[in-house]
Chains A and B, each alone.
Chain A
Amino acid sequence: MNRLARILITFSSWLVPRTRRTEWVEEWEGELAGLDEIRGGSPGHGKYPGPFEFAAGSLPHAAWTMKEEWTLGNLLSHVQYAGRVLKRAPGFTLVATLTLALGIGANTVVFSIVDSTVLNPFPFPDPKSLVGIGPAFPRLGQELSYFEALSPAEYEDIRTQSRTLERVVAWDMGNRQIATQDGSTNVFTAFWWGDAFLTLGMTPAAGRGFLSEEIERGDRVAVISHRLWESLFGSDPDVVGSTIQVNGYPYALVGVMPPRTLIYGTDLWTPMPVGPEVYPRNRRQFQVLARMADDVTMTEVNAELEGIAGRVEATHAGEFEEYQNWSLIASTWNDINSQTFRAAAFVLLGAVGFVLLLVCVNLANLLLARAMGRSRDFALRGALGAPRRRILAELFTESLVLATLGGTAGVLVAVLGIRGFSRVVEVLSIPFLGEVSLNGRVLLFTGAVSILAGLAFGLLPAVHATRSNFHDLLQSEGRTSAGSRKKHRLQRILVGMETAVALALLVGSGLLVNSFLRLQRVDPGFDPESALTMRITLPWEEYDMESIMVFFQELRDRVDGLPGVRSAAITSQYPPSVFLDQQVSVEGETYLEGGTLPQPYLTLVSPGYFEAMGIALVVGRTLTEQDRMGMPDVAVVNQAAARRLFGDENPVGSRFRIGGPGEEGEWIEVVGVVADTRNLGLDVDPQPEVYGSTYQVPGGNQFFLVARTDNDPTAILPAIRETVASLDPDQPIYMIRTIEEAFSASSADKRIASLALTLFAAFALLLASLGIYSVVAFGVVERTREIGVRMALGAEPSGVLRLVVRQALIPVAVGLVAGLGIAFGVGGFLQSLLFGISAADPLTFGIVTLLLLGVAALASYLPARRASYMDPVIALREE
């Protein structure tokens, strides 16, 4: 019993600070001995506790004693001291804080963005089982697509035949107008077959979803997005249950979607008014979404879809040739929607990981250099009797204060960075991007990593310094001790690492910037400057095909006559984002099995379109006002379409018609060939495009207006608004942007990636040069005496300079070689973001290597020059 009590006291004593441990143990041993004596085996001392029970109190006592060392007052004085120390070294403090701040901030921003755009872009539960289904039509040369890609009949095939998928829903999208107090607002709308809420696994934020009978009947009921509820109705809960006017018809507003429930940015959902059976089998403008059944893998789903596609092919390929070898593929909704930014996101993730590494290395380097400079100070204080614990506690607090400063600034950088990014997204109107919010977990993680690195490297040298004998340290004065050599080696390794990482980042940024510049030099095939575009959707409820044609003709004529407008035109789509394509058949052409059927983009334009866009006529003529209904159908094709449809012959006079080889239709005569435009973006080769006339072919109810202006194109907007209002005051205009903006949005991923990577690379270059500078500068100070001796013995200043710089550049050179290796190895990941340049572009590699070498040479030259100017007499006297 007694022995147990002693063991417990010994155990507890380990908690007690060493300075107080002897006394502490003595007091407890004394008390325990007293207890022994009193109890002495006689049972009559009931008031006294048993020895073990008594000794149990030693544990809380030890804990209290330990804690007493760290009381608030104590800590405060440590913090104050740390503050004074850091204030005495403002350069160091500033650099360390900024390094931490940018490291933590940049990482948090990038991780948050990637998390909310690529990893978890949607709030839907169990995202792994939420799948979209898309087709690939090799016969049409059409790759796998999930957007406006399936027909209602194909949706029904999947819905009725699949066992591995449940809650299969489909939707079409279009523009609708909601009446407001002052006119009306255009809203992008989804029309659903099936219960989307059920499939997504979401419940409305207010009100309810659609009832099954409402879906069945296609009732006029509406659900709006959370953001529309905020912007249009001020989050008024009373609007739920009220009636809103959609395209002039009353709709019961039954619910509000939860926040971030954005399906391609649709803000209004209603049941599809008609059933799938009313559409032709090849009307492919729908999306299909489903949940995987429990215990089913994606492989099983796709195997089953292959079977369904095979059965459809067997039944319908005779009538619809595109079904030959077609396939249906399911993929998670997350993957489908993050494809645009996936490559850019992962490149940035990798880059920012490098930056974090660099931050840690640089911090280590800084703290190491600083601690080395103070090691004599520590040893001296130790020799004068300062307890080692206290010195360590001070250093610990110092690192903690630094970490807090850096961490706070890092949060600031992160918040500002995310706000800035959201602005960029808004300005560039980047499509399909969810809201980006600060990710707390990421902030915590990066903060913890850099702070731990700071603490570790702040304390390690201190532990070393306080352990070393003061006598040895004084002995080592002026010479290089073994310990200091070891630290120098560590510093050189750190410099090498910094150089390598910086080089890899610089190469990446160099490649991206280079390819971005190349992209900017690509000729779009027309004049994208000073052209404003906007879209108008006329409701079918108020307009028929003829009045739509009249409206847009009138609009075009009136805008064309506005002062400041050089020319105006109407079009169904414009570069860089044409999207409406159409299968066509050329007269006299037999499409043999195995070849692909032509499916060019079909754009309906008013006369004057090519003039307004600045697209050159190559041969023949463009569309005129005489090409009207009742006249022979005519079309203009671009050069790519001429090659695709008619080979090397002059196509003027040739004829084609809309639809597959088996379909009937009017022949359309080609009257001209115009120059190619980069109709899918600067980084994609021009695609075949066929132009018909809006004056001749009815083409739906929504068109873009293009206005080429003499000056700033946005200045003409009020006049255009007035013109539209004079034709119909209820029709809103939307998607207002200049063509230049449209092009810059189409390369947004490359733009963001090259911009961010350049920032990172600049930061990396700065960190690396700081690291090199501090190591060399510190080395020079340490070797002052040696340099003095050399100079006293007749060394030339230039020789000293060369010596110092050469020694400094050895680790840099090693780092450069390693960095080239890394850059070469990871370059492949960049490939999909590059344009017209190889990921191993020797020029970029060479320039970047020279740049970094130059900066490193400068960073070591400055302190080296100071060394070479030293007066040898003073240098020798230096202690």
Chain B
Amino acid sequence: MPRSLGVTSLRILGAVREGISYGLDIVAHTGLPSGTVYPTLGRLKRSGYLKARWEDQRVADREGRPRRRYYELTPDGTQALVEGTNRMAQLAADLGAAATSGTG
């Protein structure tokens, strides 16, 4: 049973789903520090939610830089993202209800 994903993991999975597919871009779009992003990518890959693929060497050569490592969602990852997002939404709703009943 995979453990439920935290906010950081969900944000990174979400970014990957939007097509933001390599580390640097994810750092820029999520605003998370690089020291968080890369280990999380590694963990998500190990859990089978992401798979990594190296950029074609020819593309890299043409652009005159080292290869990039691109990440994409696996079906498991997509499912985990949906479940996780729902769970967060539910949690937000519960918290909202609790806050309301608390004040009322």
**Complex-state Cα separation, A64 to B42, whole angstroms:** 9
Q: Mark A154-180, 1 if CB is under 8 A from B, else 0.
A: 000000000000000000000000000
Query: Nearest Cβ in chain A — how far from B49, in angstroms?
Result: 16
Given contacts A54-B34, A60-B39, contact A47 B28 (CB under 8 A): yes
Query: Nearest Cβ in chain B — how far from A30, in angstroms?
Result: 4
Query: Nearest Cβ in chain B — how far from A295, in angstroms?
Result: 55
**Complex-state Cα separation, A199 to B43, whole angstroms:** 64
Which of A54, A58, A59, A65 contacts B24 (CB under 8 A)? Answer: A54
Stretch from A31-39, A533-541, A749-757, A808-816 that touches the partner: A31-39
Q: Which of A811-828 contact B (CB under 8 A)?
A: none
Query: Nearest Cβ in chain A — how far from B61, in angstroms?
Result: 12
Q: Which of A12-38 contact B (CB under 8 A)?
A: 26-27, 29-31, 33-35, 37-38
**Complex-state Cα separation, A552 to B60, whole angstroms:** 111
Judge whether B65 and A37 touch: CB under 8 Å.
yes
B29 interfacial by beta-carbon distance below 8 Å? yes
Q: Which of B12-51 contact A (CB under 8 A)?
A: 22-24, 27-29, 31, 33-39, 42-43, 46
**Complex-state Cα separation, A65 to B40, whole angstroms:** 11
A554 interfacial by beta-carbon distance below 8 Å? no
Given contacts A47-B28, A65-B42, A68-B46, contact A57 B68 (CB under 8 A): no
**Complex-state Cα separation, A59 to B34, whole angstroms:** 10
Query: Nearest Cβ in chain A — how far from B73, in angstroms?
Result: 19
Judge whether B35 and A35 touch: CB under 8 Å.
no
Judge whether B42 and A31 touch: CB under 8 Å.
no
A49 interfacial by beta-carbon distance below 8 Å? yes
Judge whether A34 and B35 touch: CB under 8 Å.
no
Which residues on the B side are within 8 Å of A27 (C-beta)? Answer: 23, 68-69
A56 interfacial by beta-carbon distance below 8 Å? yes
Residue of A nearest to B30 (CB): A47
B87 interfacial by beta-carbon distance below 8 Å? no
Q: Which of B60-83 contact A (CB under 8 A)?
A: 60, 63, 65-69
Which of A29, A37, A58, A68 contacts B34 (CB under 8 A)? Answer: A58
Given contacts A26-B66, A27-B23, contact A57 B28 (CB under 8 A): no
Given contacts A48-B28, A61-B39, contact A34 B34 (CB under 8 A): no
**Complex-state Cα separation, A27 to B65, whole angstroms:** 11
Q: Mark A38-62, 1 if CB is under 8 A from B, else 0.
A: 1000000101110001111111110
Judge whether A30 and B67 touch: CB under 8 Å.
yes
Given contacts A47-B28, A57-B34, A68-B46, contact A31 B39 (CB under 8 A): no
Judge whether A49 and B29 touch: CB under 8 Å.
no
Given contacts A61-B39, A61-B42, contact A30 B34 (CB under 8 A): no
Judge whether A56 and B34 touch: CB under 8 Å.
yes
Judge whether A30 and B69 touch: CB under 8 Å.
yes
Judge whether B37 and A34 touch: CB under 8 Å.
no
Which residues on the B side are within 8 Å of A61 (C-beta)? Answer: 34-35, 38-39, 42
Which of B31, B35, B65 contacts A33 (CB under 8 A)? Answer: B65
Which of A37, A48, A57, A65 contacts B36 (CB under 8 A)? Answer: A57
Residue of A nearest to B43 (CB): A64
Residue of B nearest to A27 (CB): B69
Query: Nearest Cβ in chain B — how far from A63, in angstroms?
Result: 8
Which residues on the B side are within 8 Å of A31 (C-beta)? Answer: 22-24, 68
**Complex-state Cα separation, A64 to B60, whole angstroms:** 27
Judge whether B33 and A34 touch: CB under 8 Å.
no
**Complex-state Cα separation, A45 to B29, whole angstroms:** 11
Judge whether A35 and B39 touch: CB under 8 Å.
no
Residue of B nearest to A55 (CB): B34
**Complex-state Cα separation, A57 to B69, whole angstroms:** 16
Which residues on the B side are within 8 Å of A35 (C-beta)? Answer: 24
Residue of A nearest to B26 (CB): A31
Residue of B nearest to A46 (CB): B28
Judge whether A34 and B38 touch: CB under 8 Å.
no
Which residues on the A side are within 8 Å of B27 (C-beta)? Answer: 48-49, 54, 57
Query: Nearest Cβ in chain B — how far from A411, in angstroms?
Result: 36
Residue of A nearest to B31 (CB): A47
Given contacts A30-B67, A48-B24, contact A57 B33 (CB under 8 A): yes
Q: Which of A108-130 contact B (CB under 8 A)?
A: none
Judge whether A34 and B42 touch: CB under 8 Å.
no
Query: Nearest Cβ in chain B — how far from A53, in angstroms?
Result: 8
Query: Nearest Cβ in chain B — how far from A350, in angstroms?
Result: 53
Query: Nearest Cβ in chain A — how far from B82, in angstroms?
Result: 26
Which residues on the A side are within 8 Å of B31 (C-beta)? Answer: 47
Which residues on the B side are within 8 Å of A57 (C-beta)? Answer: 27, 33-38
**Complex-state Cα separation, A235 to B22, whole angstroms:** 71
Judge whether A33 and B42 touch: CB under 8 Å.
no
Residue of A nearest to B68 (CB): A30
Q: Most chain-A Cβ atoms within 10 A of its Cβ — which of B29, B55, B68?
A: B68
Judge whether A64 and B65 touch: CB under 8 Å.
no
Query: Nearest Cβ in chain B — how far from A304, in angstroms?
Result: 68
Which of B39, B66, B68 contacts A64 (CB under 8 A)? Answer: B39
Q: Mark B88-104, 1 if CB is under 8 A from A, else 0.
A: 00000000000000000
Which residues on the A side are within 8 Å of B22 (C-beta)? Answer: 30-31, 34
Query: Nearest Cβ in chain B — how far from A651, in angstroms?
Result: 97
Given contacts A47-B29, A54-B27, contact A59 B68 (CB under 8 A): no
Judge whether B65 and A34 touch: CB under 8 Å.
yes
Residue of A nearest to B46 (CB): A68
**Complex-state Cα separation, A26 to B28, whole angstroms:** 20
Query: Nearest Cβ in chain A — how far from B32, in angstroms?
Result: 9
**Complex-state Cα separation, A97 to B53, whole angstroms:** 49
Which residues on the A side are within 8 Å of B36 (C-beta)? Answer: 57, 60
Query: Nearest Cβ in chain B — how far from A6, in angstroms?
Result: 12
Which residues on the A side are within 8 Å of B69 (C-beta)? Answer: 26-27, 30
Which residues on the A side are within 8 Å of B65 (C-beta)? Answer: 30, 33-34, 37
Judge whether B35 and A30 touch: CB under 8 Å.
no
Which residues on the B side are within 8 Å of A45 (C-beta)? Answer: 28
**Complex-state Cα separation, A55 to B37, whole angstroms:** 12
Query: Nearest Cβ in chain A — how far from B8, in angstroms?
Result: 13
Query: Nearest Cβ in chain A — how far from B56, in angstroms?
Result: 12
**Complex-state Cα separation, A60 to B33, whole angstroms:** 11
Query: Nearest Cβ in chain A — how far from B27, in angstroms?
Result: 6
**Complex-state Cα separation, A479 to B55, whole angstroms:** 52
**Complex-state Cα separation, A55 to B24, whole angstroms:** 10
Which residues on the A side are within 8 Å of B60 (C-beta)? Answer: 30
**Complex-state Cα separation, A26 to B22, whole angstroms:** 13
**Complex-state Cα separation, A35 to B28, whole angstroms:** 10
**Complex-state Cα separation, A767 to B22, whole angstroms:** 61
Q: Spell out A's residues near B (CB within 8 Å).
A: 26-27, 29-31, 33-35, 37-38, 45, 47-49, 53-61, 64-65, 68
Q: Spell out B's residues near A (CB within 8 Å).
A: 22-24, 27-29, 31, 33-39, 42-43, 46, 55, 60, 63, 65-69
Q: Which 5 A-B pairs have the closest CB atoms?
A: A57-B34, A57-B35, A64-B39, A61-B38, A33-B65
A-B contact pairs, 17 of them (CB 8 A): A26-B66, A26-B67, A27-B23, A27-B68, A30-B69, A31-B23, A34-B24, A34-B68, A37-B63, A37-B65, A48-B27, A56-B33, A57-B36, A57-B38, A58-B34, A61-B42, A68-B42
- Beyond A35-B24, A53-B33, A65-B39, 8 additional contacts (C-beta under 8 Å) are A30-B66, A30-B68, A45-B28, A49-B34, A54-B34, A61-B35, A61-B39, A64-B39
